[in-house]
Amino acid sequence: MKRVYNFSAGPATLPEEVLKKASEAILEYDNLGFSLIEMSHRSKPYDKINEEAEADMKKIMGLGDDYQVLFMGGGASLQFSMVPMNFLKEGMTADYINTGVWAGKAVIEAKKEGNINVIASSEDRKFCYIPKDIKCTEGAAFLHYTTNNTIYGTEYQFIPDVKVPLVADMSSDMLSRKMDFSKYSLIYAGAQKNLGPAGATIIVIKKSFLETAKDEKELPVMLSYKAHAAKKSIYNTPPVFPIFTVGLVLKWILAQGGLEEIEKANIKKSDYLYKYLDENTDFYSPTVDKDSRSRMNVTFRIVNHDLEPKFIEEAKEKGLVGMKGHRSTGGLRTSIYNAFPYEGVVKLVEFMEEFKKNNK
C-alpha cells in the first residue's frame, strides 16, 4: 500500500507502526492462539493492557496518584452531558466558554442539566480568536472550555487562571504539547483525533474532584464517573480494541521522547505552514488571529473562494487528502496531528506554491 498524506480532522492519521501492531493483534494476541477482539475484558492480558495504558497516560502527562484515568465509550459528545450530570448540582452554576461548534454543543447539553453561565465567547467574530478575558462566576461548580477548536482552527496558548475547578475538552490537542495538567480537575478527549481510533474516550480526573461527583445511585450507572472509577473502567465491556490501540499510541509517544519532542515536531510542522500562508496572503488567507492559531488544525481560504473545489481535487490527485473545511465553515483545513509527518507538510506547501502559480 502507498500511504497518502491524510489531513483529515478525525478520525485521523495514526503512526504506521501502531497500525501494524494493532492489525497483528486482531489476528493473534501475544501468541495466545486467539485475537485481542475475542478476548475477555476480565482476563489477565486485558488487565495489563488497561493498567499500562493508564500508567503510560499519567507518565506522559506528568500526573501522579491523585489522578485517575478512565476509558469509556460514547465519544467526547457524551462527556458534554456527563460532566454537568455529575458535577452541576442543584442550586449551583457552571461556567462555559463558547469558542465554536464543539464548545457550543457542550453548552447546549449542559443547559439541559442545570444553571450555566457563558462567561466568554468569540462568536462576535465567527470564532476566529480565543477570548482572553476570563472571569468566573463566584462559587461556580466548574469552568468548562475547549482547548483546541478543531473546526475553526483556534487553540488556547494559555491555561485560564481561575479559582474554580477547571474542566477541558482536549479532544483535538490532547498530548500534542507540554502542559501543566495538574491545573485541571477533569480532562476528556475522544481518541480519534490524536490518540487512536474512534470508540475510546479518555477521561483524566482528579480524585479529589471525583469525590464531589454525584453518587452513582443518583444517576444512570453508565453515566456515573464514580461507577466507572470504582470498577477501573471495566464496569461493563469497554471498547477493548480502541483502548488497546490508544495504549500503542501512548507507547509511541514515549518512544518519540514524550511531550517535549512531540511538541517540537508539532511546532516545526505548523510554523512551516503558517509561514508560507503569511508570506502568500495575495492568494491564500489564514482565517485565525495570529495569537490564537492552532498547531493541530490549520484553517485558511483561497482569496478567490471559487478555486477551493479545484484545489481540493488537484491536491487529491497528488496524494494529499482530507483538506475540505468543515461543512459549517467551508474553506480549507489541514489537520496535522502528532502522527502527521513533517514531509507531508513540505509536500503540501510545494503543492500550494504550484497551485498558486497556475491559478493566479
Ligand X SMILES: *Cc1c(COP(=O)(O)O)cnc(C)c1O
Interface positions with ligand X (CB under 6 A): 10, 75-77, 102, 146, 150, 169, 171-172, 190, 193
Would you say 240 or 302 has its CB closer to ligand X?
Answer: 240
CA dihedral for 208, 205, 135, 214, sign (positive or negative)? negative
Tell me the three cell numbers of residue 357.
502559480
Contact 300, 284 (CB under 8 A): yes
Q: Which of 102, 226, 251, 324 is catalytic?
A: 102
Burial (Cβ within 10 Å: 0-12, 13-18, ≥19) of residue 50? buried
Separation between Cα atoms, residue 46 and residue 239, nearest integer Å: 11
Cα dihedral 252/256/262/264 (nearest 10): -170
Smallest distance, ligand X to C-beta of residue 79, A: 8
Nearer to ligand X, 150 or 299 (CB): 150
Active site residue 105: no
**Least gap, CB of 278 to ligand X (angstroms):** 25
CA dist 342 and 320 (Å) reads 13
Which CB, 222 or 349, lies closer to ligand X? 222
Q: Rounded to the nearest whole angstrom, what is the least distance from the CB of residue 96 to ligand X in the complex?
A: 13
> Is 232 known to be catalytic?
no
Compute the least distance from the CB of residue 340 to ligand X, in Å. 15
Q: Which of 56, 58, 95, 169 is catalytic?
A: 169
What amino acid is encoded at 232 in this protein?
K
Instruction: Give the active site residue among 56, 58, 193, 206.
Output: 193
β-strands 166-169, 143-146: how paired? parallel
Cell triple for 311: 484545489
- Indicate the residue among 86 and 192 with the shorter CB distance to ligand X: 192
Indicate if 30 belongs to the active site.
Answer: no
Known catalytic residues are 102, 169, 193
